Amino acid sequence: MLKVIKTKTEFEGRWFEEHVVVEGEGLSSWPPGADLKWVGKRETRIDGRERVTGRAAFTHDIQLPGMVYGKILRSPHPHAKIGKIETGRAENLAGVLAVLTYKNIPRIPFRVGQNFVLNELVRFVGDEVACILAEDEEVCEDAIDAIKVEYEPLPFVIDPVEALEPGAPRVWPEGNLFNGRPEVYERGEVQKGFAESDILVEQVFKTQTGLHNSMETHGSVAVWEGDRLVLWDSTQHVFGVRREIASLLRLPLNKVQVIKKYMGGGFGSKNSLGKYTLLAALGARRIGRPVKIMLDRHEENLAAGNRPTSIQHLKIGAKRDGALTSIDLRAISGAGAYAVYPAAVGGPVRQLYACPNVKTEQYSVFTHTGPMSPFRGPGYVEGTFALESLMDELANRLEMDPLEIRLRNDAKQDPITGQLYSSKGLKEAYERGASEIQWHGRRSSNEATGSKRYGKGMASQIWGGSGGPPAYAFVKLNSDGTATVLTGTQDVGTGTKTVLAQIAAEELSLSIERISVEIGDTQVGPYSPISAGSMTLASVGPAVRIAAYEAREQLLDVAAQVLEIPRETLTVEDGILKSPAIKEQVSVKDVLSEVKNFMIIGRGARSPNPEGVSIHTFGAQFAEVEVDAETGEVKVVKMVAVHDSGRVINPMTVSSQIEGGVLQGLGFGLTERRIIDHRMGVVLNADLENYDVPTALDAPEIITGMIDRPDLHVNNLGVKGAGEPPIIPTAAAVANAVADAIGVRIRELPMTRDKVLKALSQREVVETE
Amino acid sequence: MQKIPIRLIVNGLPHTIHVEPRRTLLDALRKDLGFTGTKKGCDEGTCGACTVLLNGKPIYACMALALECEGIPVETIEGMQKDDKLHPIQEAFIQEDALQCGFCTPGQIMAAKALLDQNPRPSPEEVRKALVGNLCRCGTYPKILKAVLSAAGQSLTLPLVVGSYRLSPKGRGRGEGD
């Protein structure tokens, strides 16, 4: 009997209530210290071979017979009305098949109706104007040059603070403030809290616009097989793309197949449907041939999402003993020209510390720039930088150790709901991190050797990562005793297939070599959620375990009857059936061959999260830096990152996630920033030459630590998400280490040499005054 | 534009393609010959995903015209595996988890091969400098370094501590090579 329940789920700091169907046996987590054979082990990736041989076919690698290419003409103006579009010359070029403009394609609403796939108005430099379909990419480029567009330039605004001023040019007729009002959260009374405090600290922190720069750009290959649309899409959610495409093109769900077998990185930028997907689908239908549209690196950096800038006015009040009495955050964040929902910049302020009086007020502002999208730990990376920087300033004023003030304010229960945590390993993370970086007894601040200054800093991390329903999986047992896991999830590079195979191997008592995993295809596996919000494993993993359990139960049913022995005496271990009632060993293969091609199919559904407890992930990072006072160069010598995401299924893939998160956090903290010419609205560094992502030479020593304690309350694996937590506290920890080294604080990211030198010169001015 | 015949030698085998003179080696490999293991990340010489070996030297295939490579041996990721046996660098990448999404991996492996062919016992610094032109946005650098050293027979293995997994060789930070 199927059960329909109402449950609350969390996604990137926001809560949703939904009905879900659950089925299958409830299993409880393996207890701590259980003797597990596959789970918790360092397993190499089951798809490693495809990836090191170049055989893994990313969207970008799909080549179909008769396939043609699409290329998008983009606006050179930040805000303009399109007048005439002359496409005749382009259409006459040999090899050009069609030119799509707003005049000749259906007016399909896009981004919750904010605009259309192709539109008469363009709202940022890079907004889509036309799409050329041609036999080859070079021809597309010739055709783009041959199209003449008359633009009527309109007033524009680039800076979100200016966009809030009265009389600012409007991105949307209703105004530039997302939803027309700030997003406000309040508990207690902040003014009363400040009045009760002994000390107040107040500062403004700024973070830059970050660009994802996934190595595989966004793109799609579309082909119509009769009235059925097949899409190879570079997406973090195949079922989401299926739903949106079916709805926009008015197709039944069974006529849309979305495939994502290998993903060249997404980091949140590939969460929702792209215009390139719709244009490929429309184009393929028009010309009757498969169409591939892959964005180039520049388009990727103009139009495929970004971590929006933030300006955070933050004020903290505390007692002399360090106890927080009140926190007030007023944040302005950019949204770009189109936005679905803003990143939760106030999340850390609301959740990290036990503080009775808290207010967060967030203004998400439209500007004539490329649309924002979630970017690994959206909002929390920015919010943690401000909060953890100001906590250090508070500690400094109170002459307390930064770690001590955090322990002093450690939340014993969820400060928002008052619920107890399902598990919380933050104190252990602090202790282990402090020990690895030799926090206690560290050198005093501002120790110098020549021009070099040394410092250490730390920061804390909170994030969701509970995962939840709906998520489904099937486990098939083949007649040779091998098994196949089927689920509609995606592997965005985290190693999803490998950990799902480990879970199935454990539950089926089969060796991992005998398990294959099929994901990333809406026609193959059952529904799985988006691979974002650190929710893949904690959502899909428990469903896989139940499906494997169900398959094993069916196997025992069949085996007992084939072998004619009592069912309750039978067990299966390592693919061998054992019972006191049988003398010689019988393999699963022997039994299943007896019933010819009967295929066992176990079904599993993710159970809802428990009510009444607060489920979060925690962590702490410590940074050791060397700052050159003459050049302003910040060199990170060592990072220690200790995170608690419940049980670790595969320490090797989790350590890869942690190292990768730290490196992206270092890029955000030290080098990465989108630069826009505010007079022209043009992005000046939409490429990898001028937008500085970390290289092999920028990787410091990174020590990764995992608390690795199963969270027995959350799901049948005891796991929580691990993908986003490691990027969250990195920039804050480095900022605190830099302040420790040079004795003056940088409150604006990234901490480039010019800012370090400026900060140092300001300190000298203060000292000589 | 007029198409011309170009003779390419890829992984030891000759191929003749008919393309416009502006065809890059990268597009020739991927589109005309089907060697899609070589990836396109930027198409302008900034990311390294398209690294192949031309006469044994690593180049960005997006920055060379196919025409310029006429008759010169080109080695791609597809040529690494011999008789169904992975090259030791490929094997090391799997063993050390030196890949996440895997998109930059073929380029990293080709750059590593060029290094090890020339310098079979590189120091960690030499590895980092040889791979500086190959970006990995997933941030797999510590493990790539470990894998390349391991393929060169230099072990940096640290003990696995359950619940406190450590995996990183000593490295140095930003500013190297400036």
* pLDDT tens, residue by residue, B12-29: 999 999 999 999 999 999
Q: Distance between CA A498 and CA A504 in Å, rounded? A: 10
Enumerate the residues of chain B whose CB falls inside 8 A of the CB of residue A55.
37
Asked if B101 lies within 8 A of A687 by C-beta distance, the reply is no
Count Cα atoms within 13 angstroms, Cβ side, for B103: 33
* CB-CB contact of A194 with A327 (8 Å): no
Asked if A493 lies within 8 A of B102 by C-beta distance, the reply is yes
Asked if B172 lies within 8 A of A700 by C-beta distance, the reply is yes
For the segment B37-60, the average pLDDT, to the nearest whole number, is 98
Q: Distance between CA A716 and CA A537 in Å, rounded? A: 12
Enumerate the residues of chain A whose CB falls inside 8 A of the CB of residue B168.
659, 701-704
pLDDT, one tens digit per residue, over B90-138 is: 999 999 999 999 999 999 999 999 999 999 999 999 999 999 999 999 9
Instruction: Please choose, from the candidates A135, A146, A121, A140, the residue with its C-alpha nearest in 3D space to the C-alpha of residue A72.
Output: A140
Give A133's strand partners.
A70, A98
Is residue B41 less than 8 Å (CB to CB) from chain A? Answer: yes
Asked if A63 lies within 8 A of B36 by C-beta distance, the reply is yes
Instruction: Please choose, from the candidates A67, A61, A541, A537, the residue with its C-alpha nearest in 3D space to the C-alpha of residue A262.
Output: A61
Asked if A637 lies within 8 A of B173 by C-beta distance, the reply is yes
Q: Extract the residue ranges of chain A whose pLDDT is less than 50.
A: 768-769
Asked if B135 lies within 8 A of A215 by C-beta distance, the reply is yes
Q: Distance between CA A414 and CA A282 in Å, rounded? A: 48
Contacts of A571 (CB under 8 A, 6+ apart): A556, A577, A578, A579
Residues 56-75 of B with CB under 8 A from A: none
Asked if B164 lies within 8 A of A705 by C-beta distance, the reply is yes
* CB-CB contact of A533 with A724 (8 Å): yes
User: Order of strands, edge to edge, in the sheet holding A634-644?
Assistant: A448-449, A452-463, A617-628, A634-644, A701-706
DSSP collapsed to 3 states, A179-225: HHCCEEEEECCHHHHHHHCCEEEEEEEEECCECCCCCCCCEEEEEEE
CA quadruple B74, B77, B81, B86: dihedral, nearest 10: 140
3-state secondary structure of A441: coil
Is residue A724 part of the annotated active site? The answer reads yes
Q: Distance between CA A653 and CA A334 in Å, rounded? A: 34
* CB-CB contact of A390 with A398 (8 Å): no
* CB-CB contact of A52 with B105 (8 Å): yes
Mean residue pLDDT of chain A comes to 95
What value of ipTM does the predicted structure carry? 0.96
B71 CA to chain A: closest CA distance, Å? 24
Contacts of A552 (CB under 8 A, 6+ apart): A507, A508, A509, A572, A602
Q: Distance between CA A429 and CA A433 in Å, rounded? A: 6
- Residue for token digits 């619920």? A419
Helix (H) or strand (E) holding A287: helix A275-287
* pLDDT on residue B159: 37
Asked if B102 lies within 8 A of A262 by C-beta distance, the reply is yes
Rounded to 5 degrees, φ, ψ at B52 are -130, 170
- Residue for token digits 């993903």? A263
Mean residue pLDDT of chain B comes to 88
Q: Which two tokens stand for residue B87?
A: 């090259």
Give A603's strand partners.
A474
Rounded to 5 degrees, φ, ψ at A419 are -75, 155
Residues 105-134 of B with CB under 8 A from A: 105-106, 109, 127-129, 131-132, 134
Confidence of residue B160 (pLDDT cuts 50, 70, 90): very low
Helix (H) or strand (E) holding A317: strand A310-318
Q: Which residue of A has its CA nearest to B126?
A: A697
* pLDDT on residue A121: 95
Q: Distance between CA A477 and CA A575 in Å, rounded? A: 11
Instruction: Please choose, from the candidates A207, A200, A260, A201, the residue with its C-alpha nearest in 3D space to the C-alpha of residue A236.
Output: A260
- Residue for token digits 């062919």? B117
* pLDDT on residue A4: 84
* pLDDT on residue B174: 27
* pLDDT on residue B121: 95
Q: Which two tokens stand for residue A620?
A: 């702490």
- Residue for token digits 């929902």? A341
* pLDDT on residue A33: 86
Q: Which residue of B has its CA nearest to A47?
A: B94
Helix (H) or strand (E) holding B119: none
Catalytic site residue from A43, A382, A550, A724: A724
DSSP B65: B
- Which candidate from B80, B128, B164 shows the least CB-CB separation from A696? B128
Q: How many CB atoms lie within 10 A of CB A383?
A: 35
pLDDT, one tens digit per residue, over A314-329 is: 999 999 999 999 999 9
Asked if B102 lies within 8 A of A707 by C-beta distance, the reply is no
* pLDDT on residue B158: 42
B33, B138, B150: which to substitute to probe chain A, counting the most A Cβ within 10 Å? Answer: B138
* pLDDT on residue A420: 97
* CB-CB contact of A725 with A709 (8 Å): no
Residues 435-474 of A with CB under 8 A from B: none
Is residue A55 less than 8 Å (CB to CB) from chain B? Answer: yes
* pLDDT on residue A446: 58
A157 CA to chain B: closest CA distance, Å? 29
Enumerate the residues of chain A whose CB falls inside 8 A of the CB of residue B137.
212-215, 265, 267, 664, 693
Enumerate the residues of chain A whose CB falls inside 8 A of the CB of residue B30.
61
- Which candidate from A660, A671, A703 shows the least CB-CB separation from B139? A660
Q: Where are the beta strands (DSSP E) in chain B?
A: 4-10, 13-19, 51-54, 57-60, 73-75
Q: Distance between CA A145 and CA A195 in Å, rounded? A: 64
User: In angstroms, how far apart are the furthest CA atoms of chain B?
Assistant: 63
Asked if A660 lies within 8 A of B138 by C-beta distance, the reply is yes
DSSP B91: H
* pLDDT on residue A22: 74
3-state secondary structure of A56: coil
* CB-CB contact of B97 with A652 (8 Å): yes
Q: Distance between CA A253 and CA A272 in Å, rounded? A: 17
Is residue A727 less than 8 Å (CB to CB) from chain B? Answer: no
Asked if B135 lies within 8 A of A695 by C-beta distance, the reply is yes
Q: Which two tokens stand for residue A250?
A: 């008015």
Residue length of chain B: 178
* CB-CB contact of A648 with A721 (8 Å): no
Is residue A697 less than 8 Å (CB to CB) from chain B? Answer: yes
Q: Which amino acid is at A583?
A: K
A140, A690, A697: which to substitute to probe chain B, counting the most B Cβ within 10 Å? Answer: A697
Instruction: Please choose, from the candidates A698, A180, A529, the residue with its C-alpha nearest in 3D space to the C-alpha of residue B145.
Output: A698
Enumerate the residues of chain B whose CB falls inside 8 A of the CB of residue A633.
174-175
Instruction: Please choose, from the candidates B135, B114, B1, the residue with its C-alpha nearest in 3D space to the C-alpha of residue B53.
Output: B114
3-state secondary structure of A702: strand
